[in-house]
Chain A
Amino acid sequence: MTEHVLDELEAYALGALDRAEAERIAQHLSTCASCRKDAAALAEIVDALPDTVALREPRPALRERLLQAARTETRLPLRGGVSRRWSLALVRPWRLAIAAVGAAVIVLGAADVDAYRRLVAVTAERDAYNKTMESIREGARTWYMAGLDSFNGSGGTLYDPRAAGKQPFVLFHDLPPIAQDKVLTIWLVSPDSTWARAATFRPSGQDIQVVEISSEVAGFDRCAVTLDDSPWGKHGTIVMESRIAPPTPP
């Protein structure tokens, strides 16, 4: 780690460094928690400085000009020759809502009202919605796996229904297409690092996709999804994963 930069943090916060100096400070801050904390405290003060400015109205046309420019950008094809770039920018709120319900269940013990309302809006994916809500009503435990690297922006929530006879499943959103000769595998990993294959599948091309898994979740402490060459053998690249918290003791 480079030397602390306390002497220059005020100038950095005020934007009073030239580009090279600012980059040097930013580089240091990326590795130094102590300076980062001081910089954040200074930034809070500097962030208030716009409040000292005399307020002026821009011309009303600016609003329409901005929206028109954004509208035009939205219609343009994405750069890079890729048919669809998978990023958080493409995740619609209702898709996030499905994933968020899982987190809400953990935190609140039940789907919060807002998440529930948003979820109700998901009419196009009624089957997945019904399945998800049924599990939540029955007190399913959930864990969200965020997509990594080329799967950034996608994710999957593992649902473990408590009701007897109900299979665990993963509700994926925004899965990107994969090569013809590849498959995705859902794994459950035990504390002694034994990997158990729970399901093998390919993305359906739909915005959300439910994949049921064949084994009980109990006894495992991690779940993962890998991109594999075949539906057998060792696991390939991990594209999403999560810890599985043990059940809360009564």
Chain B
Amino acid sequence: MATNEPGSTRTTAAAVSRRRFLFLVGGALNVVAATLLAIPVIGYVFSSFRRNVASQSWIMLGALENFPENQTRLATYRNPYTRPWDGTTSNIPCWVRRLTGEKFQVFAINCTHLGCPVRWFEESHLFMCPCHGGAYYDDGSQASGPPPRGLYEYEYKIEQAKLWVRGGQLPTLSEPL
């Protein structure tokens, strides 16, 4: 710390401590500013964690007469949480099984194993998955293959002679419909 310049050690020490002070102020300033910057950035990136908008809502699937009794039919709907640039990705399919009268079962298209689209086979009354060979019975229960549970089922209601389901999110094992 000793300098060759003339002058007492007191002024040198004072200069060093002033430099040290400015360094600390500068550092602290940057830490504060960086924190202030980080808050909106983190809030923006992780905004999906804030569920102020419920990801499920009621969707109309169509008139009851579109779904004959004892049959299983593919129905499609526009996902309620859509953005103008979503394109065809927001057209979501589901399987509607009408038992009798107002008794329905509405299944998500996604296999419970890893989410591939299951297909209905009227003749053998089975849903089959093209990815890893999962199969389900007509009531959605697991028939064979790797699926850990039966098909995801939508909550449904009938209003004004129309079938409604509660949907909007991708069903997963930890967050089924």
Binding partners A and B: no
